[in-house]
């Protein structure tokens, strides 16, 4: 923590010449420059207002009151600082200044009204009628003075402080740090139960001018759960009397400490480094010297009582204080296993954050998940208050109407020194279309205790090995299948051509027929039937040619046959051979004996070769 | 001669003795011993049942990675065994590294459907159905019997399905899957000991091997992250 910045409040009595004075001085300088340069003097002079006032005319002895001196003018940014008269009957405790500007446009001309107020904190030194003499201000050759103010000083009421020591401006004394700068840590009680908060206020009390400071180390509180309540970002001094002496006191820190365990809990001293203004006698702090002063609080011991063992309910979840509990469902129906939120709200004073979630009894067919927890606490009237909101998502796992049994939570009431049990509910929930993935086994009284891998297999009868990878023979099957399809396509085409193409059919038939006829001729040859052989051979040749070229060969003359063979591009020597065979056959048929045995065999061979070449 | 034959038979058939011995040791909770025995049984050749038992022994002995490896091999050989599937899922849930990318529900369903048949069954089925379909088609071409056309279409569909399944397995094998079998291993940005460590994988994490270079493998996780890892840290599934 660092306390810095303009630290002195208007009432801060310990400050003799704070930064407020410095600010006023700076403003005054700026005003002087602007007045010399830009502002028509006569006009500004004529518009200057200068007044003094006090917030109360009757004060107690030593009581602080405010003297306000205001300088007002148009256009001017500021005015020179007023001269405070000698005040022998008063202590000057501090000063500050404030400035306000208002702009108005009248008849198209802008007018600026500036007022600077210097506030001085004073206290009277003696009883009776005292007079604050006029304050004076010299500006543009003109003198201004305020009216004198008469103060009535009466005896201070009971409990009011004695007057401040003579460590005021003008006396020139150095105030020793020892005894005039204190750090106090004050618990609101010293005996508490475990979990019952102790409010600890840490404050800085001073009779010096303290302008800032910081913690030597972050305060730590072992054995406590700490909730920060207040952390000063600036010193804000209040007057307070300690041991008959008046101090300026600023609260630095306020924490709520929740003891975590029974026994004597020690709070270690806290250390603060304060920045102190020393040695100034000048009102505006011109010659002030800053010094750092270390101050330490006294160690504290908090006696922490254990929570009583006797009478502790099973539902106790660590709450210490005073609480109320409510429970509600955000929806009372659920379709298709849509989650429903059970909201449990625990509110009250005490260690709200440290309360553990209350147990919710399992409900058959409902899956109640762990809650989402939200804490919200604050301090009001020195008491830690808060709300703990627990949001339990509930997923219905079966259809039907469910009753969530009353939710119970017990806490300890340190004031009454007893345990108290809270109850909320029961609540009802209707579910439909739930995904029934709830383990049925649990419903039938069985219990799933855990999961493990399935056991090993013991059947050794089928331990044939299966190699990794795939076998080779499917590839053969694929090829064979494709072959089958192509064969089928060819066969189909062939069959259709046989039916539609006579020449094709005859051509296909020819080789079979010619073989048959040649065999016939061979038979004749073997039975030495010369005539029959030649006739059969001639028929075989003409028949083959007829089938092969789709001709009516029997009806053709030899010349026509020869022409057809040429037309079909049969080789001339083959055609000649064929014609020669036919010629010889004719001779053999019609004049047997003209040819010898030897010739018949050779002729058969020639006919065969010739037909093979066709 | 007879001795020779017996020797060959003993080598080819999975040694039932080793299998039964392993089962005995497993029942006595000697998981390391059981694993050794099952591995011996596997020397004759792969068998789904033995791989399954070996996976169990490995899991019980605390080797999650080895268990995942053996269950995956068992699943490759016998993908319809519910025990294999259950134990594989169970062993996977014990891994340190969680899969960064989960397949979409549709892809998971398709994957499960395509892995109903084993790789071998799919390959065989595809070929046989194709042959039968081809015969039916040939018969229809020749004879034009409607029944044969219907049969041909039906066989074609079966064959196509089996073929898709076969391709799915082939793709899986071609991805060179491997499993991390050491408790923890670091993967570097290059195939050397002094490469920058870019990834840390743990026992049971399933990776694919993208490249092999000497003693180093470039592995890739399902999410795409990868790195070079020592050869001994992972074992190939197939």
Nearest CA-CA distance, residue B196 and chain A, Å: 37
Contact B134 A482 (CB under 8 A): yes
Locate the chain A residue with the closest alpha carbon to B24: A458
Is A455 a member of any domain?
Answer: no
pLDDT of residue A353: 79
Q: How far apart are CA A525 and CA A537, in angstroms?
A: 10
Query: What pLDDT is attached to residue A75?
Result: 55
Query: How far is Cα A6 from Cα A8, in angstroms, rounded to an integer?
Result: 6
Instruction: Note which residues in 112-151 of chain B have CB less than 8 A from chain A.
Output: 118-120, 123-124, 126-128, 130-131, 133-135, 137-139, 141-142
Instruction: Check residue B72 and give its pLDDT.
Output: 93
Name every residue whose Cβ is closer than 8 Å to that of residue B107 and which is 6 or more positions away in sequence. none
Which chain A residues are within 8 Å of B87, Cβ to Cβ? 453-454
Helix ranges (H only) for A54-178 are none
In-domain check, residue A448: no
Q: How far apart are the first and last CA of chain B?
A: 36
More confident residue, A119 or B133: B133
- pLDDT score of A37: 41
Contact predicate A535/A590, CB 8 Å: no
Among A441, A460, A476, the domain-final residue is A441
8 A C-beta contact, residue A206 and residue A248: yes
pLDDT of residue A292: 78
Question: What is the residue-averaged pLDDT of chain B?
Answer: 87
Find the Cα–Cα–Cα–Cα dihedral A161, A165, A170, A174, rounded to 10°.
-140
Based on the fold, state whether residues A292 and A337 are members of the same structural domain: no
Residue A44, pLDDT score:
41
Query: Which residues of B are less than 8 Å from A456 in CB distance?
Result: 23, 26, 52-53, 56-57
Q: Give the pLDDT of residue B228.
A: 93
Same structural domain for residues A10 and A127? yes
Residues of B in contact with A455 (CB under 8 A): 56
Task: Give the pair of three-digit tokens for residue B186.
Answer: 């670091």
Question: What is the number of structural domains in chain A?
Answer: 4
Q: In chain A, what residues touch B134 (CB-CB under 8 Å)?
A: 481-482, 484-485
Give B166-194 pLDDT, tens digit per residue: 999 999 999 999 999 998 888 999 888 88
- In this structure, are A48 and A144 located in the same domain? yes
Residues 59-118 on B with a CB inside 8 Å of A are: 59-60, 73, 76-77, 83, 86-87, 90-91, 118
Question: Which CATH number does B177-236 carry?
Answer: 2.30.30.40
Q: Which residue of A has its CA nearest to B167?
A: A470
Domain containing residue A350: CATH number: 2.60.40
Nearest chain A Cα distance for residue B119, angstroms: 7
Q: What is the CATH number of domain B2-92?
A: 1.25.40.10
Q: Do B45 and A466 touch (CB under 8 A)?
A: yes
Which pair of structure tokens corresponds to residue A196? 């019952």
What's the rounded Cα separation, in Å, for the pair A383 and A197? 8
Of A60, A440, A486, A8, which Cα lies nearest the Cα of A248?
A8
Higher model confidence: residue A451 or residue B104? B104
Q: Does the distance separating the beta carbons of B23 and A451 come in below 8 Å?
A: no
Residue A473 domain-assigned (yes or no): no
Note the pLDDT of residue B5.
45
* Under-50 pLDDT residues of chain A: 1-24, 26-45, 77, 157-173, 280-283, 285-286, 436-444
Q: Which domain holds residue A586?
A: 502-613
Rounded mean pLDDT, B70-87: 92
Q: What is the per-residue pLDDT for A109?
A: 67
Residue B191 is encoded by which pair of tokens? 């195939």
Q: Do B57 and A482 touch (CB under 8 A)?
A: no
pLDDT at A11 (0 to 100) = 39
């Amino acid at each position: 923590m660092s306390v810095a910045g303009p630290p002195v409040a208007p009432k801060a009595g310990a400050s003799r010449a704070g930064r407020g004075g410095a600010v006023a001085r700076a403003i005054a300088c700026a005003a002087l420059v602007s007045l010399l340069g830009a502002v028509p003097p006569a006009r500004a002079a004529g518009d200057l207002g200068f007044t003094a006032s006090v917030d109360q005319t009757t004060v107690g002895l030593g009581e602080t009151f405010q003297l306000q001196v205001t300088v007002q003018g148009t256009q001017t940014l500021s005015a020179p600082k007023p001269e405070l008269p000698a005040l022998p009957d008063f202590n000057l405790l501090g000063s500050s200044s404030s400035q306000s500007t208002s702009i108005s446009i009248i008849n198209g001309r802008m007018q600026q009204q500036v007022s600077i107020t210097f506030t001085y904190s004073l206290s009277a030194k003696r009883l009776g009628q005292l007079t604050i003499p006029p304050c004076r201000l010299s500006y543009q050759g003109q003198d201004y003075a305020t009216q004198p103010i008469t103060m009535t000083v009466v005896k201070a009421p009971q409990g009011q402080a004695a007057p401040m020591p003579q460590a005021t401006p003008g006396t020139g004394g150095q105030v020793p740090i020892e005894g005039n700068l204190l750090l106090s840590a004050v618990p609101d009680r010293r005996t508490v139960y475990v979990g019952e908060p102790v409010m600890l206020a840490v404050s800085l009390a001073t009779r010096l001018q303290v302008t800032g400071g910081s913690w030597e180390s972050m305060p730590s509180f072992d054995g406590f759960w700490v909730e920060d309540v207040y952390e000063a970002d600036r010193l804000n001094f209040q007057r307070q009397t300690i041991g008959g002496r008046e101090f300026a006191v600023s609260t630095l820190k306020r924490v709520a400490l929740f003891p975590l365990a029974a026994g004597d809990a020690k709070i270690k001293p806290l250390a603060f480094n304060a920045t102190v203004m020393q040695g100034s006698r000048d009102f505006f702090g011109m010659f002030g010297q800053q010094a750092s002063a270390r101050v330490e609080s006294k160690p504290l011991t908090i006696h922490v009582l254990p929570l009583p063992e006797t009478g502790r309910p099973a539902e106790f979840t660590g709450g210490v204080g005073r609480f109320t509990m409510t429970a509600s469902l955000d929806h009372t129906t659920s379709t298709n296993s849509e989650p429903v939120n059970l909201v449990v709200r625990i509110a009250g004073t005490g260690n709200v954050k440290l309360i553990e979630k209350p147990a919710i009894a399992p409900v058959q067919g409902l899956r109640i998940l762990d809650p989402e927890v939200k804490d919200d606490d604050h301090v009001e009237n020195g008491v830690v208050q808060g709300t703990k909101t627990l949001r339990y998502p509930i997923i219905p796992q079966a259809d039907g109407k469910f009753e969530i049994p009353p939710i119970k939570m017990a806490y300890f009431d340190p004031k009454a020194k007893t345990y108290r049990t809270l109850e909320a509910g029961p609540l009802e929930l209707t579910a439909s279309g739930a995904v029934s993935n709830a383990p049925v086994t649990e419903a039938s009284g069985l219990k799933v205790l855990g999961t493990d891998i399935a056991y090993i297999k013991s059947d050794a009868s089928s331990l044939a090995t299966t190699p990794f990878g795939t076998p080779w023979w499917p590839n053969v099957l694929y090829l064979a299948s494709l072959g089958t399809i192509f064969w089928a396509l060819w066969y189909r085409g062939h069959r259709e051509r046989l039916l539609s193409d006579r020449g094709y059919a005859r051509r296909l038939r020819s080789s079979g027929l010619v073989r048959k006829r040649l065999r016939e001729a061979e038979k004749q040859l073997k039975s030495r039937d010369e005539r029959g052989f030649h006739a059969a051979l001639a028929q075989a040749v003409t028949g083959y040619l007829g089938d092969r070229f789709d001709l009516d060969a029997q009806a053709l003359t030899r010349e026509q046959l020869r022409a057809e063979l040429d037309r079909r591009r049969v080789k001339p020597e083959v055609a000649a051979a064929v014609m020669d065979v036919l010629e010889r056959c004719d001779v053999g048929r019609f004049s047997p004996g003209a040819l010898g045995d030897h010739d018949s065999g050779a002729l058969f061979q020639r006919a065969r070769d010739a037909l093979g070449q066709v | 001669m007879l001795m020779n034959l017996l020797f060959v038979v003993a080598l080819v058939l999975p040694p039932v003795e080793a299998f039964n011995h392993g089962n005995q040791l497993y029942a006595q909770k000697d998981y390391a011993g059981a694993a050794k025995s099952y591995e011996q049984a596997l020397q004759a050749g792969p068998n789904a049942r033995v791989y399954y038992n070996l996976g169990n022994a490995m899991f019980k002995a605390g080797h999650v990675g080895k268990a995942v490896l053996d269950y995956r091999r068992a699943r490759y050989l016998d993908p319809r065994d519910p025990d294999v599937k259950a134990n594989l899922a169970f062993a996977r849930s014990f891994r340190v590294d969680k899969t960064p990318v989960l397949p979409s529900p549709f892809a998971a369903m398709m994957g499960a459907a395509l892995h109903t048949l084993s790789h071998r069954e799919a390959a065989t089925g595809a070929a046989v159905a194709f042959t039968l379909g081809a015969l039916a088609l040939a018969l229809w071409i020749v004879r034009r019997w409607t029944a044969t056309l219907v049969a041909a279409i039906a066989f074609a569909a079966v064959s196509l399905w089996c073929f898709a399944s076969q391709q799915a397995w082939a793709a899986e094998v071609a991805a060179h899957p491997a499993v991390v079998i050491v408790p923890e291993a670091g993967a570097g940005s290059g195939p050397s000991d002094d490469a920058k460590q870019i990834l840390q994988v743990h026992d049971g994490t399933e990776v694919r091997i993208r490249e092999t270079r000497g003693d180093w493998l470039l592995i890739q996780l399902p999410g795409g992250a990868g790195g070079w890892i020592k050869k001994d840290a992972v074992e190939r599934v197939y």
